[in-house]
């Protein structure tokens, strides 16, 4: 059956590269890993296993469901979305974007308050900080973190620097409020992969590394860095059937692929039902070894002129992303969780 292979050495290479950057440009900033959305499609448990081996201690997941899957792997787990339906474990925290959630949490719950520093997506207004921190204290909750998301790390221009300046002002204001209330200072973080790797001075407590850990950085601001990262995941498909077909034979739905000569045509067990894209006659896409994926792709399979019993559909998501006018994130997170994920310890295996 189809399979996603995870190159452990590529993953460790990426984390080592990012760690060296942090050591060079910060005093004590920690590397935290983003594991949301099934570890960007790579497999939550598999990537958690590798991250723990590397020494990662702090992670971010999408939901409480994901948090429970990796609860034994890490010392600190923050849930980014949704209200938990049961009390959180002591090493878990929940991100706060609205006041209603604060009223639903039991005393003692760790919370990370998200503040809008200019992206204008999620997070409370900086003008609401005092009200929220007072409510957190009154409810007996623990202010574990205050964070934002600088959405301009990939862009050339002034917006990234402005977002950093806004977050510095937020940190100063929070520090003043905590001193007034007599509560501990929370941890602070705002930088994602691109923001981290373009910064030459980082003074937050941690950075939230996502896509760069998996081998990609589609950033206009740091194109030279992207070339130093290694994709972790490759998608493989197994042969379902093999046919020798004559010149002029039509392949698949609508017969949109017509053979120019007698050829061996095989079908392979990956289709759009597996989260792969539906390749039609207006798209030109090739496997990692160069065979064209013949239109039209079916729900459960695709065809190509090949006699290989197993074929690498892609080992770099960027080519697929460019053909479908999207980004590597979407290619990877679309992949079905039902596809087997296997950690490869040595490429010779």
Sign of CA dihedral 254, 256, 257, 260: positive
The domain that holds 76 is classified in CATH as 3.20.20.10
Residue 307 neighbours by CB under 8 Å, 6+ apart: 242, 264, 266
* Mean pLDDT to the nearest integer, 322-337: 97
Look at residue 253 and tell me if it is in a domain.
Answer: yes
pLDDT (tens digit per residue) in 163-213:
999 999 999 999 999 999 999 999 999 999 999 999 999 999 999 999 999
Which of these three, 183, 203, 226, is where a domain ends? 226
Backbone φ and ψ for 181, nearest 5 degrees, come out as: -90, -10
The DSSP bridge partners found for residue 341 are 4
Three-state secondary-structure class, residue 151: coil
pTM of the model: 0.95
Catalytic: 110?
A: no
Strands 92-96 and 76-79: parallel
Do 28 and 64 have their domain in common? yes
CA neighbor of 152 nearest in space, from 143, 161, 144: 161
Can you give the pLDDT at residue 143?
98
Can you give the pLDDT at residue 135?
97
Quickly count helices (H) and strands (E) in the chain. Answer: 11, 16
Q: Give the number of other CB atoms < 10 A from CB of residue 63.
A: 15
Catalytic: 40?
A: no
Do 143 and 211 have their domain in common? yes
Look at residue 144 and tell me if it is in a domain.
Answer: yes
Residue 109 neighbours by CB under 8 Å, 6+ apart: 87, 88, 93, 94, 141, 142
Contact (CB, 8 A) for 178 and 186: yes
* Mean pLDDT to the nearest integer, 95-123: 96
Which of these three, 173, 197, 226, is where a domain ends? 226
Do 300 and 219 have their domain in common? no
pLDDT (tens digit per residue) in 200-210:
999 999 999 99
Look at residue 18 and tell me if it is in a domain.
Answer: yes
The domain that holds 291 is classified in CATH as 2.40.37.10
Looking from the CA of 254 toward its CB, the CA atoms found within 13 Å total 10
Look at residue 55 and tell me if it is in a domain.
Answer: yes
Can you give the pLDDT at residue 348?
53
Q: How far apart are CA 281 and CA 77, in angstroms?
A: 45
Look at residue 95 and tell me if it is in a domain.
Answer: yes
Q: How far apart are CA 262 and CA 245, in angstroms?
A: 6
Do 176 and 45 have their domain in common? yes
Do 62 and 168 have their domain in common? yes
For tokens 């290479």, what's the residue? 13
* Mean pLDDT to the nearest integer, 230-241: 98
Look at residue 342 and tell me if it is in a domain.
Answer: no
Look at residue 341 and tell me if it is in a domain.
Answer: no
Look at residue 180 and tell me if it is in a domain.
Answer: yes
Do 183 and 283 have their domain in common? no
* Mean pLDDT to the nearest integer, 123-143: 97
From the candidates 23, 250, 253, 347, which is the catalytic residue? 253
Do 241 and 153 have their domain in common? no
pLDDT band at 222; cut points 50, 70, 90:
confident
The torsion defined by the Cα of 151, 155, 159 and 160, in degrees rounded to 10, comes to 70
Do 210 and 284 have their domain in common? no
Do 100 and 161 have their domain in common? yes
Q: How far apart are CA 144 and CA 92, in angstroms?
A: 10
N- to C-terminal Cα separation, the chain: 18
The CA distances from residue 57 to 36, 76, 97, 172, 219, in Å, are: 15, 6, 24, 26, 27
Containing structural domain, residue 252: 233-315
Contact (CB, 8 A) for 92 and 77: yes
Can you give the pLDDT at residue 349?
46
Which of these three, 192, 226, 260, is where a domain ends? 226
pLDDT (tens digit per residue) in 255-268:
999 999 999 999 99
């Amino acid at each position: 059956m189809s399979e996603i292979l995870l190159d452990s050495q590529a993953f460790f290479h990426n984390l080592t590269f990012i760690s060296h950057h942090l050591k060079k440009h910060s005093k004590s900033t920690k590397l935290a890993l983003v594991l949301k959305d099934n570890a960007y499609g790579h497999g939550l448990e598999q990537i958690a296993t590798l991250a723990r081996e590397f020494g990662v201690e702090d992670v971010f997941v999408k939901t409480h469901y994901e948090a429970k899957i990796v609860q034994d792997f890490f010392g600190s787990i923050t849930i980014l979305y949704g209200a938990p339906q049961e009390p959180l474990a002591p090493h878990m925290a929940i991100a706060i974007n609205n006041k209603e959630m604060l009223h639903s949490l039991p005393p003692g719950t760790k919370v990370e308050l998200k503040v809008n520093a200019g992206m204008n997506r999620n997070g409370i207004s900086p003008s609401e900080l005092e009200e929220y921190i007072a409510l957190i204290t009154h409810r007996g909750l623990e202010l574990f973190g205050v964070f934002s998301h600088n959405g301009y790390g990939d862009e050339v221009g002034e917006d990234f620097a402005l977002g950093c300046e806004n977050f510095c002002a937020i940190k100063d204001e929070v520090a003043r409020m905590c001193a007034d209330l007599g509560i501990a200072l929370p941890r602070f973080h705002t930088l994602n992969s691109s923001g981290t790797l373009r910064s030459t001075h980082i003074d937050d407590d941690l950075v939230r590394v996502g896509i760069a850990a998996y081998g990609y950085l589609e950033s206009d601001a740091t194109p030279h860095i992207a070339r130093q990262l290694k994709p972790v995941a490759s998608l493989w498909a197994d042969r379902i059937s093999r046919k020798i077909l004559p010149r002029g034979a039509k392949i698949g739905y609508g017969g949109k692929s017509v053979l120019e000569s007698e050829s061996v045509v095989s079908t392979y067990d990956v289709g759009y039902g597996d989260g792969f894209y539906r390749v039609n006659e207006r798209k030109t896409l090739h496997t990692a070894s160069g065979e064209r994926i013949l239109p039209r792709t079916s729900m459960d399979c695709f065809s190509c002129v090949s006699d290989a019993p197993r074929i690498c559909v892609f080992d770099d998501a960027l080519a697929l992303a460019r053909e479908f006018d999207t980004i590597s994130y979407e290619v990877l997170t679309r992949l079905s969780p039902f596809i087997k994920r296997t950690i490869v310890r040595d490429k010779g295996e």
